[in-house]
Structures are given as structure tokens and as C-alpha cells.
Amino acid sequence: MRIRALDSIRGLLLLQMTLDHFGRPISYYLYQCFGFFSAAEGFFFLSGFVGMLAATSKGVKDPKQSWMRARAFKTWRYHMVTLAALAIAAYFLFPQVAVFFKGLYQHPLQGSLWSVALVNTPEYLDVLPLYVIFLLIASLVFPLFTKATRKRNVLCLWLPSLVLWIAAQFGLRDACNSIFPQWIYHGDFDPFGWQFVYFSGAATSAWWRIARKSEAAGDSLAVRSVKRLTPAIIVLLVFCFLWSHQFIALAQPADFWTSKVHVGPLRFANFFTFMLLICATVRRWPALLDFRATNVMGRHSLDVYTAHIVLIYLWMATPGSIRYHGPWNVLVPVVACVLLWALAKLREPRVK
């Protein structure tokens, strides 16, 4: 079961992440433009949400969710091909970005093995490994979500993710990484923190499925509760927007609360309320956020995201006289987005 608006939103988030990674001046206006969170949180959340929808619809024919393991292996292949190609290209053609693969060059055998195991993840190459890990875990957890018939069951399945996220705020990742060689780069994203975003998306999807059944049976308490919370959600979002952009005379929160690496508590709360508003909008006006151009990008998110990594590395290898000056630092990112859209269109199946 696909919801067109969700694919469109995922496509929009891919475009925003691409423009963010190309840097200023565009990223100055786009990065964390809605508050203390970025497009990455939305993409992880919706991946969990959409993945849960797919698990529910495919559960009858594929109760063990083997399709998720196949998707994880495909993502792993995309990651490994991209990593190998970029490392070779950087060594022979683009020395400006060779620094990102320093550990791999200095320890070719160990570096390759740790890269295959998704432990060594150079910059911008750390998101796809997370998806591989989350998909593998989800292939075991999502069947339990699909069998949940009460909201309390969903809550119980979601609690371990909450506990891991709390532990992530207090150094769980550093403790785990200490067992590996120091030259390994583990990426910017804490998997113990970011899994909470992904599995919160899945839990929200499972909760939404149960709430719809309750509503069909005449019990609309859950739906009414969300509607009552809408004004408070809007107030909170406006406050966080003004606070994050320093329109309110309050000191900015400490990094603990808004950390992107670990998904700080305020960051998650701000993001989750924003996603609740988006979900409510999609539910009430499904066509409002459905855009044909970004819909196709959302449907082919793996191809688009992988290609965006290659474009970012090519951009970083470009001389500073181009990267930091107009019109190139505006024109090139826009052209890159058009190329990503064209790639998605090419990946569309041909209709005979």
C-alpha cells in the first residue's frame, strides 16, 4: 500500500538534503529551516513509516518479511559499489577528497573488511549502512508490529527502541566504538540514537493502522485526541521555530538537547510534533502534499540518494574558486537536483 503524498514528501526531503550538502548559500536558508531538526530525521522517520505499511500489506504472502532482507542486501551492494568507486576515484583522480578515505588507504586490508562490515563509513557514506542495519532488524521486529492488535502492544514493542535512544544520550556509542581501532571512522550518525527515529516511524504507522480499525468500528477516541492536540502542536512548532532562529530572547539550548549525532531530546520532540502535523495533513487532505515531480524521486529513493553522494563528492573535488562563488554555488546544486529527478524518471518502469 503506497501513499502518494508520503513518496512526494520523501522526494522533497531528498532534494533538501542534497541542497544542504552542497553548502552555502542555499544551505544557509534550508538547513534546519523549520526548527531544531533537519531533513534527515524526516527521511528516516518516513522510511520506517512506509516500511511498516509495506510490511503490513506484504505480511500475508511473506510473513517472515524476507523482502526486507533482500532490500537490505541491495542497499549494501549500492553502498559498497559507491564506496569502492569513490575511494578509487579519489586516489587516482580527485586528491582533494582523498582525506575522507585516509584510513582505508593506510590500512587497505583491515579497512576493506571493516567497510564490508559497515563499521568504517567515510563522510557522506554513513547513511546507507544505517539503513542496512535497520532493515535487517526490522525484518525481525516488523512481523511483531503487524500482529499487534492493541495500541499497548505497539507501545511495548517500541519501548526497547526508546531505552536504546536514552542510552545513546549518555555515551553508549562511544563505549561500543572503543573496541575498534582508532583510525576507523564511524560516521556522523549514532545508530543507537537514529534507530529511534526509524522505529518511531514504524510504531506510528502500526498505531495509525490500529486507530483506523478502531475508527471504522465506531471508536474514534484516538483520532479525537490527536485533533485536540493539534493547536498545542502548532504552538510548540511556532515556538521552536522562533527559538531556533533566535527570534526569541532565550539562550540557545545546550548540545545535549539538540544534538544531531545522538538525536537530542528537544530535537526529537520538535521533529516528532512536526511529523504529527504532516501526518494529520496527509490524512485529511491526501492530495495537498502530492507533487508529481518529487513523487517519482521518493519511489526511487535508494537510486537518488546514492547518486546524490557521488555528486556531492564531485562537488567537493571542485576548485574553491567555483565552489564558494556565484553563480556556480547556486547553479550547480540546482542542476544536480534536476539530474537526480531525471535519474528517477529513467528508473520508472516503461508502460507499454
pLDDT tens digits, residue range 117-162?
Answer: 999 999 999 999 999 999 999 999 999 999 998 889 999 999 999 9
Query: In the 8-state DSSP scheme, what is residue 180?
Result: S
Choose among 125, 103, 276: nearest CA to 187.
125
CA distance 344 to 1: 20
Per-residue cell: 58:
506484504
Choose among 336, 346, 275, 267: nearest CA to 308.
336
Query: In the 8-state DSSP scheme, what is residue 107?
Result: S
Mean pLDDT of 275-295: 87
| Confidence bin at 284 (pLDDT 50/70/90) | confident
> What is the model's pLDDT at position 231?
87
> What is the model's pLDDT at position 213?
75
CA distance 201 to 180: 31
DSSP string, 297-309: HHHTHHHHHHHHH
Whole-number mean pLDDT of the chain? 92
Decide: helix, strand or coil at residue 254.
Answer: coil
- Whether 217 shows a pLDDT value over 60: the answer reads no
pLDDT tens digits, residue range 233-245?
Answer: 899 999 999 999 9
Q: What is the pTM of this model?
A: 0.94
pLDDT tens digits, residue range 49-108?
Answer: 999 999 999 988 888 889 999 999 999 999 999 999 999 999 999 999 999 999 999 999
- Whether 12 shows a pLDDT value over 60: the answer reads yes
> What is the model's pLDDT at position 352?
44
> What is the model's pLDDT at position 222?
59
CA distance 74 to 57: 21
> What is the model's pLDDT at position 59?
84
> What is the model's pLDDT at position 229?
79
User: In the chain, which residue ranges form alpha helices assigned H by DSSP?
Assistant: 4-21, 26-30, 39-58, 66-92, 102-106, 108-116, 127-147, 151-168, 172-177, 191-216, 221-244, 255-258, 265-284, 292-299, 301-316, 320-323, 328-347
* Grid-cell match 567555483, residue found: 322
Give me the residue spans of the domains in the chain: 4-347
> What is the model's pLDDT at position 60?
81
